[in-house]
Amino acid sequence: MNRTELVAALVAAGIRPDAYHLGSVEPNPILDSERLILEQTADGWNVFYSERGLRSSERHFRNEDAACRHLLGALMQDPMTRA
């Protein structure tokens, strides 16, 4: 799974767009607060929860597929992410 496929799955599941941030750009601590973040790094991908600039529940993945699947699972399990 890549980011394009992930977005399609999130939209189909009715996940709120403000529940996550996808991209390789460093997240903005103000705009990206209280959401799950998918971040591309030099050696893989990080998935973490961002709240007021603090990272929690951070996991590192070597490939995009594993990171996207982890993020999808986390968002699907949280009933607060639905519109």
Domain residues for the domain of 33 are 3-81
Q: What is the pLDDT of residue 43?
A: 96
Contact 49, 33 (CB under 8 A): no
Q: Where are the alpha helices (DSSP H) in 1-83?
A: 3-12, 64-77
Q: What is the pLDDT of residue 52?
A: 81
Give pLDDT, residue 57. 95
DSSP label at 27?
A: P
For the chain, the domain total comes to: 1
Identify which of 52, 45, 59, 42 has the alpha carbon closest to the alpha carbon of residue 6.
45
**CB-CB contact of 58 with 67 (8 Å):** no
Q: How far apart are CA 38 and CA 48, in angstroms?
A: 7
Q: Which amino acid is at 29?
A: P
Per-residue model confidence as pLDDT tens digits over 18-69: 999 997 556 565 566 789 999 999 999 999 998 887 899 999 999 999 999 9
